[in-house]
Amino acid sequence: MSRLEELRERIASRRARIGVIGLGYVGLPLGVEFAKAGFEVVGFDLDAQKVRSLDEGHSYIEDVPESDLHEVKAAGRFSATSNFAALTGLDVINICVPTPLTRTRDPDVSHMAAAVEEIRKRLHGGQLIILGSTTYPGTTHELFVQALEETGLTVGTDFSLCFAPERIDPGNERFAVRNVPKVVGGETPLCTELGCAVFETIFDEVVPVSSTQCAEMVKLLENTFRAINIGLANEVALMCQRLGLDVWEVIEAAATKPYGFMKFVPGPGLGGHCIPVDPSYLSWKMKSLDFSARFIELATEINSGMPQHVVDRCAALLNERRLAVNGAQILVIGVAYKKDVGDMRESPALDVIALLAERGADIAYHDPHVREFEVAGQGYKGIELDDNVLHESDLVVILTDHGEIDYERVVRLAPHVFDTRNATASVTTGREKITRL
């Protein structure tokens, strides 16, 4: 029996030892799910504070309940470390490291390259390596195969290599890790089979595809689809402002069509790690093939311009009351990138706040999920949403529509509210004090 065939049996019997490199919004939920399924899991992260928090039984990811963490730690099935020497004894290694863009919006593969090097130094026959970090088509083959085969081992014969994109949606109570189908593409058919075998232990449905490149493209298509349609919704919002129409009314009415229309909504910009970043990976790759991804570039232009549009609208609203942005007391409600989470990655609120601060505004914020943050070298700490704060603000700007905020109270006490998320849709009194995007 070959080492890879032996791995199949170890997976089926839950004797395979699984590693997860990168214990963030993707890696930690994945590692805990594998541990709950009966595997011994070792998590790796360079952030000593994260490792210490997990050792103490504290979860810093809202989608990972501490009760789940306590359960798998008590059973001896989950541990965290910053020491990559522990990779040696693992059968399956998942790579869930960040894949940001550089300042010139080129892919930054440095985190993946560092993970590959740590694995390469300890690679042995029978291991399954799975990349889950979003990246451009061809990354797994170009970056991983050559580096790992330098050990003298051959992919598909001595070790297996797959790409299986993450589909994590922070804060989504309907779709968690298990009930979102998992796409898996391997370098060889056997690689795909083994990748599917390991993910079938924790996912309700696994979808095999023909190659790592196909799986990489699947992930980029999903988020490019969203980015482009959000860009369309944002452009429609700009059109409706010029036409004197309520964009939210237009979208809600269009959404009553039972076929041929999918509802997307405008906002102050794009947030989260995937949607603002992934289309740029695809656009960058296509430029190297002398192909212009025009839809992507146009949507990026529109979406990236929304924070400035929000600031311009704020200035206009203040000006109507004979106030300047410079010196205005502006209260921002919600700074996370989406509703009911504390995730600040690529949040458009950061750009809005930085632009308002550049123009001299005095910014305060309230977000029940974010205690503090820094942008453009300026630190901010959240404040309580008390009556005086609302009453004394020159303008309240809603950038994230968290569910626990009492928007009736906000509108009642604030002098004026600029709502970029339609959070005040159900407010019945004081609507003359609300301006919506």
| Catalytic sites, residue numbers | 274
Buried b (16+ CB within 10 A) or exposed e, 278-300: bbbbbbbbeeeeeeebeebeebb
Query: Angle at CA 47, nearest 5°, toward 150 and 78?
Result: 80
The structure tokens listed for 73 are: 């730690």
The structure tokens listed for 172 are: 């989504």
CB atoms within 10 A of CB 196: 19
What does 223-279 look like in DSSP terms, one character per residue? HHHHHHHHHHHHHHHHHHHHHT--HHHHHHHHTT-SSS-------SS--SSSTTTHH
The structure tokens listed for 39 are: 């595997």
The structure tokens listed for 392 are: 């004394």
**At 370, is the secondary structure helix, strand, or coil?**
coil
62 to 56, 77, 220, 311: CA distances (angstroms): 16, 21, 25, 31
Contact 359, 316 (CB under 8 A): no
The structure tokens listed for 351 are: 């750009």
Identify the CA nearest to 145 among candidates 133, 157, 134: 157
338 to 15, 138, 273, 274, 346: CA distances (angstroms): 39, 31, 11, 13, 10
| Spatial distance between the Cα atoms of 295 and 77, rounded to a whole number of angstroms | 46
**At 45, is the secondary structure helix, strand, or coil?**
coil
Give the side-chain half-sphere CA count within 13 A for 139.
Answer: 30
Which amino acid appears at position 90 of this protein?
L
Identify the CA nearest to 271 among candidates 186, 385, 176, 351: 351
**At 121, is the secondary structure helix, strand, or coil?**
coil
Contact 407, 401 (CB under 8 A): no
